[in-house]
Amino acid sequence: MEYDLKTIDLEITAIEDSATRLKKIGTGIETIERNADAILAFVYLLKKNISDIIE
Amino acid sequence: MEGVRGRSIYWNPIIETLPRERLIQIELKRFRELLRWAKENSPFYRRKLRGIDPQDIESLEDVARVPMTEKDELRAAQEEKEPFLYGELLAVPYESLSAFHQTSGTTGKPVYIPDTYESWQWLVEVWCYLLYAAGFRRSDRVFLPFNYNVYIAFWQGHYASEKIGCEVVPGGALDTRGRIQKMREVQATALMNTPTYGLHMFEVSREMGIDPKRDLSLKKMVCAGEPMPEPTRLRLEEEWGVDVYDHIGGTESGAWAGMCCEKRGMHVMEPHFILEMVDLETMSKPVSPGTRGVVVLTPLCRRCVPLIRFNLKDIMTVMEGPCSCGRTSLRVDQVSGRVDDLRKIRGVFFSPHVVEEVIRREFAEVAEFETVLTQEGATPVLTLRLELDPSIAESRAKNVSSRLRERLKVKTNLTFELEMAKPGELPRYTLKSARFKDLTKK
């Protein structure tokens, strides 16, 4: 079986967009801002581990 | 590009088996991005990289034209510079920082290195690669026998074990006996250690009547904190009855290479790092695989304190040929010396590392040792202070010391004075050992 890396990358981008939007609409609520930042830190890793590989 | 699905021996089967050409392409792209980031955000690099256009970096030869970064420059960029503590190295807003660590200060004033949540997670992720390669899995219970303090290695090891899904048992508050008892009590299956402390723990467990092979459940040990010559690794494997894996890293760079199950050299964590090896004499000419050189390293994804072409001063060799584990990254052998420790004695280059290699490989009777360099008039004198296993009879002790002196003469072309120390007289080390003392540098 093979992985569909393009679809995985699309999902990573979708999480990034969603976490960025969440952070924006939750500005001023510490728990939203900090947890959205944490999600974005892990998105950064997924991009370095997967998205960067796609030619 | 498609990846292959299935239970894997890799933390990331896609990246770890990429063709080398593709790894290099990704590294070059990341290097350009890092240069751009550093020039825009770090006052230190804005000045240092003036005149360098990231877009001009198209090959590894181009990378080698970018100026190297030395540790003294990092110190100078911090001292009395704003913002407090990190100075001109910082490339992110101060309020985004979430972790503090510092170098050990072995070679001078410590350098303070911060991390953001993002960069800390990246460091931990790299550790996941190396622990997974050493066989750490969800089913493991990992024991860490240290107070982690302000030093980075075991914090990363702790969080990476947790991320892999292992149970982590921190044993820092206990003494050595307590730690051994705790490992037995919880049936720890994996241990993180320094090589020196691993040897010491074994001595103590023997005094306690505990045989690690019989009485503990350990299967693997990952070592950090100091260079581990192959004979030391093999001795630890023999004494503990476990697989022992080496890795290499530092506070400034993070962990950057580790052993896989083949235990033949350490895989560089590509494409998270660019590794270069330069010639010892010129400190600029690249050396080919199979030839000893000095490590120059660029961590490619840690944006808060960018580090570009950092001169690690470790002397190593890139190994030739692929590894049978299937990983395509470069492999390096274990550290064979430090530029800082290298001395020219009577016209011969001497690395204290050789003493440890000879002792660990051939002289199991030696419990502890220390090499001291002094000067008598114009003549440098190398003295090896030895502490033998207490069970060795005096008659045998003489034989051990004369054989050792001969072997060192063969290996180094230098004559050593030998001095016997009483049992327990020489210092024991928990973290970084200091078995070489240069008293000519007062």
- Note the pLDDT of residue B431: 66
Do B348 and B330 share a structural domain? no
* Rg value, chain A, Cα: 13
Contacts of A48 in chain B (CB under 8 A): 122, 125, 272, 301
ipTM: 0.95
Same-domain pairing of B214 and B133: yes
Question: Based on the domain organization, do B60 and B147 belong to the same domain?
Answer: yes
d(CA B156, CA B152): 6
Same domain, yes or no: B264 and B411: no
Q: What is the CATH number of the domain that holds B59?
A: 3.40.50.12780
Which residue range forms the structural domain that includes residue A19?
5-53
B positions 288-327 inside 8 Å of A (CB): 301
| pLDDT at residue B108, as a whole number | 77
B118/A3 touch (CB, cutoff 8 Å), yes or no = no
State whether B238 and B349 are in the same domain. Answer: no
Looking at beta carbons, which residues of chain B come within 8 Å of A44? 118, 121-122, 301
Chain A contact for B118, CB < 8 A?
Answer: yes
| Candidate from B26, B116, B121 with C-beta closest to A53 | B26
pLDDT at B2: 41
Contact call for A45 and B125, based on CB within 8 A: yes
Counting the structural domains of chain A, the total is 1
Q: Tell me: do B83 and B178 sit in the same domain.
A: yes
B4 pLDDT higher than 60: no
Q: What local confidence, expressed as pLDDT, does residue B428 receive? A: 80
Residues B354 and B279 in one domain: no
CA atoms B349, B352, B358, B361: torsion sign: negative
Residue B442 has pLDDT above 70, yes or no: no
Chain B CA closest to residue A45: B122
Reduced DSSP (H G I as helix, E B as strand, rest coil) percent helix, strand, coil of chain A, to 5: 80, 5, 15
Work out whether the CA dihedral B90, B95, B98, B99 comes out positive or negative: positive
- Quote the number of domains for chain B: 2
* Tens of pLDDT, residues B318-342: 999 999 999 999 999 988 888 888 8
Q: Which residue of A has its CA nearest to B1?
A: A54
Which CATH number fits the domain that encloses residue B418? Answer: 3.30.300.30
Q: Do B1 and A40 count as a contact with CB atoms less than 8 A apart?
A: no
Least Cα distance to B130 among B32, B269, B16, B233 occurs for: B269
**pLDDT score, position B7:** 60
Is the pLDDT at B6 greater than 70? The verdict is no
Q: How far apart, in whole angstroms, are the C-alpha atoms of residue B362 and residue B407?
A: 9
Of B304, B338, B372, the last residue of a domain is B338
Residue that terminates a domain, selected from B321, B338, B355: B338
Regions of chain A short of the pLDDT cut 50: none
- Mean pLDDT of all residues in chain B? 92
Token readout for B81 is: 């510079």
- Domain holding B408, by residue range, is 342-438
Tell me if A12 sits within 8 A of A51, measured CB to CB. yes
pLDDT at B348: 78
Task: Give the chain A residue whose CA is nearest to the CA of B301.
Answer: A48
- End of a domain among B289, B316, B338? B338
Query: Minimal Cα distance from B163: which residue of A?
Result: A42
Provide the pLDDT for residue B5: 52
Q: Indicate whether B234 and B346 sit together in one domain.
A: no
**Residue range B281-294: mean pLDDT, rounded:** 93
Which residues in chain A have Cβ-Cβ distances shorter than 8 Å to B116? 41
A54 in contact with chain B, both atoms CB, cutoff 8 A: yes
Q: Give pLDDT, residue A16.
A: 98
Residue B323 and residue B350 in one domain: no
Chain B neighbors of A38, CB-CB under 8 A? 117
> Distance between CA B174 and CA B171 in Å, rounded?
6
Quickly state the pLDDT bin for B167 (edges 50, 70, 90).
Answer: very high
CB B413 within 8 A of CB B348: yes
Interface membership of A38 toward B (CB under 8 Å):
yes
For residue B1, the model assigns a pLDDT of 39
List, in sequence order, every beta strand (DSSP E) within B40-92: none
- What pLDDT does residue A1 have? 54
B 257-276 near A (Cβ less than 8 A): 271-272
Confidence check: pLDDT of B415 > 70: yes
Residues B266 and B325 in one domain: yes
